[in-house]
Amino acid sequence: MQFLKWVLLFLCFCDVLLAMSVAETTTTTVAPVCAEEDRASLLSIKARIVQDTTDILASWTGMDCCNGDWEGVACGATGRVTSLELQRPVKNSEMFMKGTLSPALGNLHFLEVIVISGMKHISGSIPESITALPHLTQLVLEDNALGGTIPSSLGHLSSLQILSLSGNHLTGQIPPTIGNLNNLLQLNLARNSLSGPIPLTFKTFSSLQYFDLSSNKLSGAIPDHVGQFKNLTYIDLSNNQISGPIPISIFSLSKLLDLLLSNNKLTGTIPVQIEGLKSITTLSLSGNQLGGQIPASISKLQNLWNLNLSRNGLSDPLPTLLSSNIPSLLTIDLSYNNFIFETVPAWIRNKQLSEVHLAGCGLKGALPTFRKPDSITSIDFSDNHFIDRTSSFLTNMSSLQKLKLSNNQLKFNLAELKLPNVLSSLDLHSNQISGSLSNILNSKTSGFLEEIDVSKNQITGIIPELNSGLGLKVLNIGSNKITGHIPSSISNLGELLKLDISRNQIQGTIPMSIGSMVKLQWLDISINSLTGKIPNTLLAIGRLRHANFRANRLCGKIPQGRPFNVFPAAAYAHNLCLCGTPLPPCRESQESKKKTNQ
């Protein structure tokens, strides 16, 4: 009896375990299986891509596109594709896809997100079929090679919150129908070739936060209704052909962080209402036709850290309030206006700034002393009238990365120049500087230094031997009094893009080692006393776009291969006896032809 009782208990226990197992099975989430219609559409999209160095599409195999193995594809609970994201890896700029966008995109009826960006060689037009996707909230087709016009039917995507078509080759006008997208939070059509005005229909964008139409060919005025976008934090209309005054309404955007209107044709003055930009951090109005004075109200911008008013027609005097306000200011650019400062304003010298650009501001005398020099990363004092030496000027500028003092009247020896270790760009051209290049190009030269321009000075001596490990990309020593020869060690500058040693007194031959400088795009050795041939090794420089060998004592056959045989004849003129395309044939070639014919 006791035994039977234990048996019954055991059977009951088994029933409980079985019930728990069944319950667990029924509650386990089963991964959705890709709908065959969506799988077929994805394969049609893949078929339009003829080359894929990202290998993303190589993962699109098998019957189930929702199992997580298809890279860039995501599905919802019903097994329908809801997201397609094909993005080039940020760290590898050489990867791309080549092909076109398939109309089959429009057959993925449950898509909410389309992101196809950075593929560089996806061309053709934007498929009209995309406009049949009622659930689409994000359409991002950035940094490809798409052409044609923006389909007006995109205005039917009523759920769209993000529309970005930047970095393509799109032409024509912006369709007014885009104004139907009432839910837009971000609109980015930058870096195309769009023309015409900003549509008046955009006044419906009540929720817009990000607005970028920069680097196009847009014209007309900035619509006054932009001031109605109360949620805007970012406006970039720079690098267009927009004209007229800056609308007063813009200055009521209290949430705006960045206002970028540079390089247009804006006229009038900077309105005093600018103080309404209470949150503004970056204000760039450079490269326009603005006149008058800087309003004193600009000093009330408590959060402003980047101010660029360069290349306008602004005039003296500066507001006195600037000396004690704008507490957050870090970078200032007032270059190329109608300012005649004579000396750097005291409030600039005393403020802790990172960038000070006052080119063409009528500055005279000695280079200034800054109260907090260790914070400065960039200085541009070019096109002024400074005359005094730089030794004390650079003292304690331990963070300086870019120094531009070109086109002044500076007189000093390069031996006096103590360059900061982190300096990447040095531009001293068009002064009266003397000394030897070995003072700035030696074993102690920082690997950070990428650009040196000391052209149009009075530098003497020879080109020093150059060590490997230098990161120079630009070396311009033209129009000096440099002698000697071009050292073979010039090839140690493996990152060099531009080499200009023209208008000096350099002799000897062109080193064959220059042919190993395969990144070189610009080579100018004209107006020297170089002899011998142009080495055929230079044919290995496949990226060369400009070369000038004019006015030397070179002789022999010009390397017969691209690009040397397609450069203009003027690039080889006034030498001793250069010959071959693009110059007349070499004599031995003519004689050999005669012998062959006989």
Report the distance separating Cα 183 and Cα 194, nearest Å: 23
Check if the beta carbon of residue 190 is closer than 8 Å to that of residue 216: yes
The residue range of the domain holding 469 is 411-587
Question: What pLDDT is recorded for position 528?
Answer: 98
Q: What is the pLDDT of residues 109-125, one digit of tens each?
A: 999 999 999 999 999 99
pLDDT at residue number 394? 87
Residue 315 lies in a domain: no
User: Chain-centre distance of CA 398, in angstroms?
Assistant: 26
pLDDT at 91: 66
In a domain, 80, yes or no: yes
In this prediction, residue 323 carries a pLDDT of 66
In a domain, 327, yes or no: no
Domain boundary among 203, 218, 233: 218
Average model confidence (pLDDT) for the chain? 91
Inform me whether the pLDDT recorded for 350 exceeds 80: yes
Q: What are the tokens at 88?
A: 């080039």
Average pLDDT over residues 72-80: 93
Instruction: Give backbone dihedrals phi and psi of 260, rounded to 5 degrees, phi first.
Output: -120, 105
Separation of alpha carbons 71 and 58, rounded Å: 9
Residue 96 near residue 53, CB atoms below 8 Å: yes
47 in a domain, yes or no?
yes
Residue 444 has what pLDDT?
A: 85
Residue 572 within a domain: yes
For residues 198 and 224, what is the distance between their CA atoms, to the nearest angstrom?
11
Residue 227 · residue 205 · CB < 8 Å? no
Q: What is the mean pLDDT of residues 333-341?
A: 96
- Last residue of some domain: 200, 218, 236? 218
pLDDT at 388 over 90: no
Kindly state the average pLDDT of the residues 521-536. 97
Instruction: Check the CA dihedral 194-198-199-201 and report its sign.
Output: positive
Query: 288 lies in a domain?
Result: no
Whose CA is closest to 46, among 73, 67, 28, 15? 73
* CA nearest to 399, candidates 382, 425, 423, 379: 423
The backbone region for 214, taken as left when phi is positive above 0, alpha when psi lies in -120 to 50, beta otherwise, is beta
The yes-or-no verdict on residue 443 having pLDDT over 90 is no
Write down the pLDDT at residue 272.
95
Return the CATH number at 106.
3.80.10.10
Residue 64 lies in a domain: yes
Q: Does the residue 185 lie in any domain?
A: yes
Rounded to whole angstroms, the Cα distance separating 443 from 322 reads 44
Task: Report which of 292, 140, 220 is spatially closest to residue 274, judged by C-alpha positions.
Answer: 292
H/E stretch holding 26? helix 2-27
Q: What is the pLDDT of residues 182-241, one digit of tens each?
A: 999 999 999 999 999 999 999 989 899 999 999 999 999 999 999 889 999 999 999 999
Strands (E), 417-573: 425-427, 451-453, 474-476, 498-500, 522-524, 531-532, 546-548, 553-557
CB 251 within 8 A of CB 277: yes
Is residue 274 within 8 A of residue 247, CB to CB? The reply is no
pLDDT, tens digit, 9 for 90 and up, residues 6-45: 433 444 444 434 444 444 443 444 556 899 999 999 999 9
Separation of alpha carbons 399 and 79, rounded Å: 55
> pLDDT tens across 463-496, in order?
999 988 889 999 999 999 999 999 999 999 999 9
Spell out the residues 6+ positions from residue 464 whose beta carbon is closer than 8 angstroms to its own.
436, 437, 438, 441, 442, 487
Q: Which residues contact 488 (CB under 8 A, 6 or more apart)?
A: 511, 512, 513
Q: Where are the beta strands (DSSP E) in 422-535?
A: 425-427, 451-453, 474-476, 498-500, 522-524, 531-532
183, 159 in Cβ contact below 8 A?
yes
Q: How many domains does the chain have?
A: 2
Q: Residue for token digits 């982190």?
A: 422
Query: CB of 289 within 8 A of CB of 263?
Result: no
Residue 390: band (very low, low, confident or very high) from pLDDT cuts 50, 70, 90: low
Name the domain boundary from 190, 218, 246. Answer: 218
In this structure, is the dihedral angle defined by the CA atoms of residues 130, 131, 134 and 137, taken in order, positive or negative?
positive
Write the pLDDT tens digit of every residue in 265-301. 999 999 999 999 999 999 999 999 999 999 999 999 9
Q: What is the pLDDT of residue 389?
A: 67
Per-residue pLDDT of 249-275, as tens digits, reads 999 999 999 999 999 999 999 999 999
Contact predicate 284/311, CB 8 Å = no
pLDDT digits over 372-383, tens only?
999 999 999 999
